[in-house]
Chain A
Amino acid sequence: MAPYVEEPNDEAAFAPTKRAPDLVAPEPEHCPGPESEQAGQGDACAGCPNQQICASAPKGPDPDIPIITERLSQIRHKILVLSGKGGVGKSTFSTLLSHAFAANPDSTVGIMDTDICGPSIPKMMGVETETIHVSNAGWSPVWVTDNLGAMSVQFMLPNRDDAVIWRGPKKNGLIKQFLKDVDWGELDYLIVDTPPGTSDEHLSVNSLLKESGVDGAVVVTTPQEVSLLDVRKEIDFCRKAGIKILDFPCHNRRGRRLAKKMGIPFLGAVPLDPRVGMACDFGESFVENFPDSPASKAIKRVVRAVGQAVGEDPEHVLPEEMVG
């Protein structure tokens, strides 16, 4: 008899959340989640020191969700960037995507880094040493250019190399603050860069943004089978969470086949260009520095298609003559 892991309990994972109560002990193994509707009532809750607290916590939806929805109502499009596998270029892609969106001076773009334990966006944007300013209106994002703002845990660390050794609930708390307290102002696009995997960060972003409406997800992959395997998991996640998949940039035909098999749009290949890596290391905009390179053109075409997928006129997103 071979042991199996149980089928993931999707309903509990994707149920709307209420506010998490303060716990007196770590959650037990099969904890339904202190913020879930079943809190204090599940089988795993019997004998848990938190049971009373969870069971008596106020029911009903998380009171912070309307605040988040209000805060994000000024943002026209919210796009998630996902990938099951690490190192396929989520952050690189998010950086390129936001620079390319921002290449149109009429658009204002924000980029939010929800990778708490390995933030890369500040480095790639060249704003690693910046810090966040707090005003009456909330936390001000770090402005990379006039129309491109960024938010990341990196801006909050006293030292550059500090490790953020946090468990899930604490990471969720920070992500909620990013959504609730950051004063983005009016944005055309908010790009949400995620860590690899399908865990706390992804569930939180999804449940907190459900009310305000996510336009969709861009799933990034590389051609290797190992990477495609994890991407299948990520697509599975989006299906379960009800997130629309906008695009699927990848580096060759294998990705296209997978996209076709799973019935999601595929958006061409972004070729490998060593200069992309260097631009990221130095925190410069690749799209601006090498506007005519094949990779730049490919990324701009992706931007137009993403714009189209969220219901914008591609000419309005990035005029054809800027693609070159």
Chain B
Amino acid sequence: MPLDGVKNIVLVLSGKGGVGKSSVTLQLALALSLQGKSVGILDIDLTGPSIPRLVGLEDAKITQSPQGWLPVSVHEPITAEESTSSASAPPRGSLRCMSLGFLLRDRGDAVIWRGPKKTAMIRQFLSDVSWGATDYLLIDTPPGTSDEHIALAEQLLTLFSTDPVIAAQSSLPRLAGAVLVTTPQAVATSDVRKEANFCVKTSIPVLGVVENMSGYACPCCGEVSNLFSSGGGEVMAQQLGIPFLGKVPVDVKFGELVEGKPEAESDEDEGDGNSEGAQQQDVLAEPDQRPLVEKYKEGWSYPRFEGFAATIISGIQATTPA
């Protein structure tokens, strides 16, 4: 049975590229996991998968089990008992990922596929991956409203229901809805409006809008200044009558967290590498071996996403029959 053990499916959509779908997906997943939920991320951006890089597991590979493909584990769960006995960390759920990036031999390989092949790959992702018990499956999508989206919507809507009552009766996953990601600029919101229309046409409920890159959080004090415009996503959500989850400022620290250390400088450098060399020493001085989720908890963005995760959980649970 496809997606056996998955309880809720949440799509992350945006009409526009580069607004931070993948980073919002990841942060949402981390925040959900910190609330004790087991989370899976399915990356269906086939020609530009970013999730493997963001979770720092570019070399990981998918393994095959009798039940199907096993997703790559980002961190293991800590149960409530373990948490009290070791006193090391609060309970958290597991986080696992599936992406085409894990299936490529070389990370620079271009996947040059036409529609039918992409559709087939997405069907395979939805049917052949053995997720096991998963509270929330987040699906990260490519920009646009084309083959990938049609395949995904078609497949999900024929298999699963968006209706909580029917979903509860069938013991199948519930297609809880979609989170739309935008940036404040009018150029981005005009494309995201198209995506909202896609949700209307396919009757996938919109859980909310996240306005990413809204202002700039100072890396020292976390104070937000509006270097660029702000509020565009909020206005759009109001006009379309869909819930607005909140704004996320540019968080340089999160960028560093997922970008990792700067690539080792070599003799290819063109002379002006002094400042970067100094920065690098800082990084090398304190190697941080903790899992991504622990480091993320200290960032400025976490409280915001904690709020979004709580809103989404309560929204979904409120409609789920006991």
B62-A2 in contact (CB<8A): yes
Interface membership of B235, Cβ < 8 A: no
Residue of B nearest to A200 (CB): B114
Report whether B270 and A253 are in contact in the complex, using a CB–CB cutoff of 8 Å: yes
Known: A5-B111, A233-B110. A274 touches B227 (CB 8 A): yes
- Which listed residue, A128, A161, A168, A256, touches B194 by the CB 8 Å rule? A161
Whether the pair A164, B145 counts as a contact (CB closer than 8 A) is yes
Mark contacts of A204-238 with chain B using CB atoms, 8 A cut-off: 1 yes-contact digit, 0 otherwise: 00000000000000000000111001101110110
Query: In chain A, residues 93-131, which have Cβ atoms closer than 8 Å to a Cβ of chain B?
Result: 115-120, 123-124, 128
Cα of A234 to Cα of B201 in the assembled complex, Å:
32
What B residues does A224 contact at CB under 8 A? 255, 259
A163 and B195 within 8 A (CB): yes
Interface size bracket, B side: 35 or more
* A interface majority secondary structure: loop
Q: Chain B 172-201, CB within 8 Å of chain A: the 1/0 string?
A: 000000000000011100110111111001
Give the interface segment out of A28-36, A292-300, A312-320: A28-36
Within 8 A of A (CB), among B134-188: 142-147, 149-150, 185-187
- A199, B112: Cβ atoms closer than 8 Å: yes
Give the total of A residues in contact with B, Cβ under 8 Å. 72
Contact of B115 among A160, A169, A236, A274 (CB under 8 A): A169
Q: How far is the CA of A88 from the CA of B17 in the complex (A)?
A: 8
Contact A234 B190 (CB under 8 A): no
* Cross-interface CB contact of B116 among A5, A8, A27, A203, cutoff 8 Å: A27
Taking the complex as formed, is A162 at the interface, i.e. its CB lies under 8 A from any CB of chain B?
A: yes
Of B17, B53, B150, B268, the most chain A CB neighbours within 10 A belong to: B17
Contact B47 A162 (CB under 8 A): no
Partner pick for A233 among B48, B103, B143, CB 8 A cutoff: B48
Question: Interface stretch among A144-152, A179-187, A190-198?
Answer: A190-198
A84 within 8 A of B: yes
- Report the separation of the CA atoms of residues A160 and B113 in the bound assembly, to the nearest whole angstrom: 30
B263 part of interface (Cβ distance < 8 Å)? yes
Residues of B within 8 A of A31 (CB): 114, 116-117
Contact of B16 among A86, A116, A240, A281 (CB under 8 A): A86
Query: What separation, in Å, do the CA atoms of A166 and B147 have in the docked complex?
Result: 7
Most A Cβ at <10 Å: residue of B16, B116, B150: B116
Q: A162-B194, A197-B47, A230-B50 are in contact. List 5 more A-B contacts (CB 8 A).
A: A2-B62, A117-B146, A160-B190, A161-B193, A163-B15
Q: Return 12 A-B CB contacts under 8 Å, by A number.
A: A87-B19, A117-B15, A164-B145, A196-B17, A196-B18, A196-B47, A202-B112, A229-B53, A232-B107, A236-B109, A280-B187, A281-B187
